[in-house]
């Protein structure tokens, strides 16, 4: 495993300037592959029990974000990275810090996924033999069974980390096993690949499913206090509607990670408007991107 000394950790979030008209971001500048010496991962701490990990674009062009949430009884890792590095040392460094602050020696870990596309579970094998660790399967029935979703995808389940009850929201469309995770403690909604500042890929064969999920998401946001949506990637620049090229090797002038709560309603409205004829459409801070299903 790589030495944890190579990790970049921001222990307390700062608020750098963002694009004109944007509110200050709760995060410091993310590694974006513009610095030759940047580390393979960056950790930023949102609050005492919430960490955000970014995998460097230099290790994989997807540059995914992972989320590690702690409760009294267990911790939840959302996604395990895109490969091209060992991700477990970064996760272990965060767990070790949290345990030391809590004067504890161990906590059970759950490794789950926003969805089953390969850039979100390549690190699973690193955790397979880890003590007191559960790696959730990648199929809709695996996800539903583990989190207790009785009727997939209509039902929203509650999953308790111990004094921290998360809502598990099925949102298939981009991928059949896609979920979002809502945390009332922080009022953060972890939105995976369905909604983030980038190209929201939707197979045209699943566009109706995507619309239903977008409606489910918008309804949830209307009835819950959501502060920010945090997705799994950044593919937009700070210029509205301008994204990076496919497999871009660096992301200078990157859009902030977070999206505002109203993005959920905008996504649902835009998706419904193209129900009969899905087309590529920019909403400024994200792009709905229908494409033919994979063979």
pLDDT digits (tens, 9 = 90+) for 91-108: 999 999 999 999 999 999
For the chain, how many structural domains are there in total? 1
Residue range 64-88: average pLDDT? 98
More confident residue, 10 or 140: 140
Region of residue 103 (left: phi > 0; alpha: psi -120 to 50; beta: else) = left
The strand pair at 41-47 and 8-10 is best described as parallel
| Predicted confidence band of residue 12 (pLDDT cuts 50, 70, 90) | very low
pLDDT of residue 195: 98
Q: In what order do the strands lie in the sheet with 50-55?
A: 8-10, 41-47, 50-55, 65-70, 75-78, 109-112, 133-135
Residue range 140-167: average pLDDT? 98
pLDDT of residue 18: 34
pLDDT of residue 278: 97
- What CATH number is attached to the domain comprising 274? 3.60.15.10
CA pair distance 34, 23, nearest whole angstrom: 24
Which residues have CB under 8 Å from 223's CB, separation 6+?
none
Residue range 166-181: average pLDDT? 98
Chain segment 186-233, per-residue pLDDT in tens: 999 999 999 999 999 999 999 999 999 999 999 999 999 999 999 999
Chain segment 21-48, per-residue pLDDT in tens: 345 899 999 999 999 999 999 999 999 9
DSSP letters, 27-70, are SPPPP-S-STT--SEEEEEEETTEEEEEE-TTT-TT--EEEEEE
Count CB atoms within 10 A of the CB of residue 144: 20
Question: 198 near 207, Cβ under 8 Å?
Answer: no
Burial class (CB in 10 A: 0-12, 13-18, 19+), 155: middle
Question: Quick check: 17 pLDDT over 60?
Answer: no
Q: What is the pTM of this model?
A: 0.93
| Predicted confidence band of residue 14 (pLDDT cuts 50, 70, 90) | very low
Residue range 148-157: average pLDDT? 98
pLDDT of residue 235: 98
pLDDT of residue 293: 83
The pair of three-digit structure tokens given for residue 92, joined into one six-digit string: 């272990």
Nearest of 56, 81, 76 to residue 66 by alpha carbon: 81
Q: What is the mean pLDDT of the chain?
A: 93
pLDDT > 70: percent of the chain? 92
The pair of three-digit structure tokens given for residue 151, joined into one six-digit string: 């009727």
Question: Quick check: 13 pLDDT over 60?
Answer: no
| Predicted confidence band of residue 63 (pLDDT cuts 50, 70, 90) | very high
pLDDT of residue 47: 98
Residue 233 lies in domain? 4-291
| Predicted confidence band of residue 8 (pLDDT cuts 50, 70, 90) | low
């Amino acid at each position: 495993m790589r030495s944890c000394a190579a990790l970049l950790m921001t222990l307390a979030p700062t608020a750098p300037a963002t694009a004109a008209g944007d509110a200050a971001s709760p995060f410091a500048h993310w590694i974006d592959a513009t610095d030759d010496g940047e580390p393979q991962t960056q950790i930023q701490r949102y609050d005492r029990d919430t960490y955000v990990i970014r995998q460097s674009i230099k290790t994989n062009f997807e540059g995914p974000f992972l989320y590690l949430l702690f409760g009294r009884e267990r911790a939840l890792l959302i996604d395990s990275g895109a490969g091209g590095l060992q991700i477990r040392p970064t996760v272990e460094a965060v767990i070790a810090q949290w345990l030391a602050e809590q004067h504890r020696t161990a906590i059970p870990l759950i490794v789950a996924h926003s969805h089953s596309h390969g850039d979100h579970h390549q690190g699973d094998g690193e955790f397979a033999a880890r003590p007191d660790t559960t790696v959730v399967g990648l199929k809709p029935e695996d996800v539903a069974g583990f989190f207790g979703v009785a009727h997939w995808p209509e039902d929203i389940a509650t999953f308790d980390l111990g004094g921290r009850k998360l809502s598990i929201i099925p949102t298939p469309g981009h991928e059949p096993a896609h979920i979002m995770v809502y945390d009332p403690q922080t009022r953060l909604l972890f939105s995976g690949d369905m909604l983030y500042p980038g190209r929201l890929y939707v197979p045209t064969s699943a566009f109706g499913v995507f619309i239903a999920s977008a409606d489910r998401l918008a309804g949830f946001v209307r009835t819950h206090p959501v502060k920010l949506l945090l997705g799994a990637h950044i593919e937009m620049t700070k210029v509205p509607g301008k994204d990076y090229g496919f497999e871009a090797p660096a992301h200078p002038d990157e859009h902030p990670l977070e999206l505002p709560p109203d993005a959920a309603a905008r996504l649902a409205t835009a998706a419904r408007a193209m129900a009969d004829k899905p087309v590529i459409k920019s909403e400024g801070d994200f792009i709905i991107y229908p494409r033919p299903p994979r063979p």
